[in-house]
């Protein structure tokens, strides 16, 4: 069962409470380069990104937010380190959320100024603890980098905001180590009701990062923990969104596309199943239907799986049986299988 969390809104997108789990990403363009940043965000939107974050390292980047916001459809978060003026400027320019750690802003007055600007426009703040940037004193107190020092670090930032009567908060506790990340999120989930933004930080290239993130984020989601996710990949952010959405689909938390079940093939396979599945995947990639199709190589497991799906294929010798809602509807020659299957999918 999903953990109960407080509800917050980044723009119009709800996080926590009963809201569906969202997928976020971060641009890797220079935020001052408005054209490239907008182009990338629109591409992320096309892939189903729910919320996007941009780096705001200086005043010019904060000013760009205004123009970027006018041309995109999804909520925008400003990622700020240390400089409270950039937070204020980003809020003035219409940003929907901030990623800033109040403990790193400086004097109480500066934090107060940021918080009152956030209060005025109902801008949530994400407190983001990274295993690599925990304060020395906390590391000493909790014996180095572990779930205790990560959670304590987050709670210290939370307290600063709560003392200013601000609870429009979400929390992330990211580490490069999967087990540590999972432990830290589990721990914080026991002691706070704030929504959690999940991620494995600096997870690596798309291949490694996808595996690391799927295991870490996937196991937390399976335990009902997590309200929004970001896959952190060294590559095109579009890949982050694709992976994030697929993790949600795999866990049954998102039903927007066709799910393909296919067998691994073996010595019994008598049709070119691998090529068939790849071609089907390409042809139906853009079809938005929450259905299940099973493409199986033979009659051993094939008919069983094929019957469970909305549409199914069980391969034979140079041909296959086509199933619809559990019933055999026709026998199709191998060379016509792809078209027949896609045709039936479109009819559903
Ligand atoms: Fe082999 Fe048939 Fe299983 Fe596919 S479904 S792996 S062909 S036994």
Q: Does the C-beta of 300 come closer than 6 Å to ligand 1? A: yes
CA distance 307 to 169: 47
* Residues present in the chain in total: 348
Q: Does the C-beta of 298 come closer than 6 Å to ligand 1? A: yes
What band does 32 get if pLDDT is binned at 50, 70 and 90? Answer: very high
CA distance 199 to 182: 10
Which of 39-48, 111-120, 221-230, 321-330 shows the lowest per-residue confidence on average (mean pLDDT)?
321-330
Partners of 328 in beta bridges: 323
Q: Does the C-beta of 306 come closer than 6 Å to ligand 1? A: no
How high is the pLDDT of residue 182?
A: 97
Q: What is the atom index within ligand 1 of the atom nearest the CA of 263? A: 4
Q: Which residue has the higher pLDDT, 119 or 287?
A: 119
Q: Does the C-beta of 302 come closer than 6 Å to ligand 1? A: yes
List the domain boundaries for the chain.
Answer: 7-250, 259-347
pLDDT, tens digit (0-9, with 9 covering 90-100), for 284-322: 988 889 999 999 998 777 667 777 789 999 999 999 999
How high is the pLDDT of residue 203?
A: 84
Angle between helices 108-121 and 84-92 (to 10 degrees): 20
Q: What is the atom index within ligand 1 of the atom nearest the CA of 314? A: 5
How high is the pLDDT of residue 34?
A: 98
Q: What is the atom index within ligand 1 of the atom nearest the CA of 298? A: 2
Is 332:340 a contact under the CB 8 Å cutoff?
yes
Burial class (CB in 10 A: 0-12, 13-18, 19+), 211: middle
Concatenating the DSSP letter of every residue in 40-106 gives HHHHHHHTT--EEEEE--SHHHHHHHHHHHHH-SS-EEEE--S-HHHHHHHHHTT-SEEE--GGGT-
Q: Does the C-beta of 295 come closer than 6 Å to ligand 1? A: no
Which of 17-31, 130-144, 232-246 shows the lowest per-residue confidence on average (mean pLDDT)?
130-144
Question: Looking at domain 7-250, which CATH architecture does it have?
Answer: Alpha-Beta Barrel (3.20)
Share of the chain above pLDDT 90, in %: 86
Concatenating the DSSP letter of every residue in 178-244 gives HHHHHHHHHHHHHH--S-BEE--TT--SHHHHHHHHHHHHHHHHHTT--SEEE---SS-HHHHHHHH
Using the mean position of ligand 1's atoms as its centre, give its distance from the Cα of residue 268 in Å: 6
Q: What is the mean pLDDT of the chain?
A: 94
pLDDT, tens digit (0-9, with 9 covering 90-100), for 51-77: 999 999 999 999 999 999 999 999 999
- Of all protein residues, whose CA lies closest to atom 8 belonging to ligand 1? 300
- Which of 261, 263, 307 maximizes ligand 1 atoms within 8 Å of its Cβ, making it the mutation to test the pocket? 263
Q: Does the C-beta of 226 come closer than 6 Å to ligand 1? A: no
Please provide residue 182's backbone torsions phi and psi, each rounded to the nearest 5 degrees: -60, -45
Q: Does the C-beta of 264 come closer than 6 Å to ligand 1? A: yes
pLDDT, tens digit (0-9, with 9 covering 90-100), for 87-107: 999 999 999 999 999 888 888
Give yes or no for residue 133 having a pLDDT over 90. Answer: no
What band does 80 get if pLDDT is binned at 50, 70 and 90? Answer: very high
How high is the pLDDT of residue 302?
A: 65
Q: Does the C-beta of 270 come closer than 6 Å to ligand 1? A: no
- Of all protein residues, whose CA lies closest to atom 6 belonging to ligand 1? 265
pLDDT, tens digit (0-9, with 9 covering 90-100), for 223-282: 999 999 999 999 999 999 999 999 999 999 999 989 999 999 999 999 999 999 999 999
What's the pTM value of the predicted model, to 2 decimals? Answer: 0.92
Distances, alpha carbon 206 to alpha carbons 16, 209, 241, 248, 282, in Å? 28, 5, 11, 17, 20
Partners of 259 in beta bridges: 292
CA distance 310 to 336: 19
How high is the pLDDT of residue 97?
A: 98
CATH superfamily membership of 259-347: Sulfite Reductase Hemoprotein, domain 1 (3.30.413.10)
- Of all protein residues, whose CA lies closest to atom 1 belonging to ligand 1? 266
DSSP 3-state percent helix, strand, coil across the chain (nearest 5): 45, 20, 35
Q: Which of 76, 92, 9 is nearest to 40 (CA)?
A: 76
Using the mean position of ligand 1's atoms as its centre, give its distance from the Cα of residue 311 in Å: 17
């Amino acid at each position: 069962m999903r953990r109960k969390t407080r509800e917050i809104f980044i723009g119009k997108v709800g996080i926590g409470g009963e809201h569906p789990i969202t997928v976020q990403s971060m641009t890797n363009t220079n935020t001052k380069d408005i054209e490239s940043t907008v182009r990338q965000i629109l591409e992320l939107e096309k892939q189903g990104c729910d919320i996007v974050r941009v780096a705001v390292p200086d005043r010019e980047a904060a000013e760009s937010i205004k123009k970027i916001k006018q041309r995109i459809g999804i909520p925008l978060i400003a990622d700020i380190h240390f400089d409270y003026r950039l937070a204020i400027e980003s809020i003035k320019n219409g940003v929907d959320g901030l990623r800033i750690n109040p403990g790193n802003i400086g004097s109480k007055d500066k934090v107060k100024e940021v918080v009152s600007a956030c209060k005025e426009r109902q801008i949530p703040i994400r407190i983001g603890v990274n295993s690599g940037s925990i304060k020395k004193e906390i590391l000493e107190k909790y014996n180095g980098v572990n779930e205790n020092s990560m959670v304590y670090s987050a709670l210290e930032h939370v307290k600063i905001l709560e003392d200013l009567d601000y609870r429009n908060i979400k929390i992330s506790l990211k580490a490069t180590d999967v087990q540590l990340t999972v432990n830290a999120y589990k721990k914080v989930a026991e002691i706070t009701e704030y929504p959690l933004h999940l991620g494995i930080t600096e997870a690596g290239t798309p291949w490694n990062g996808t595996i690391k993130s799927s295991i870490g984020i996937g196991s937390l989601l399976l335990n009902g923990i997590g309200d929004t996710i970001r896959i952190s990949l060294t590559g095109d952010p579009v890949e982050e969104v694709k992976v994030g959405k697929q993790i949600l689909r795999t866990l049954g938390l998102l039903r927007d596309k066709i799910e393909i079940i296919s067998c691994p093939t073996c010595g019994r396979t008598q049709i070119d199943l691998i090529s068939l599945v790849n071609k089907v995947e390409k042809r139906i990639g853009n079809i938005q239907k929450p259905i299940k199709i099973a493409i199986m190589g033979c009659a051993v497991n094939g008919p069983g799986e094929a019957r469970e799906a909305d549409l199914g294929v069980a391969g034979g010798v140079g041909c296959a049986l086509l199933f619809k809602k559990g019933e055999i509807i026709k026998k199709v020659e191998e060379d016509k299988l792809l078209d027949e299957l896609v045709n039936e999918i479109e009819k559903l």
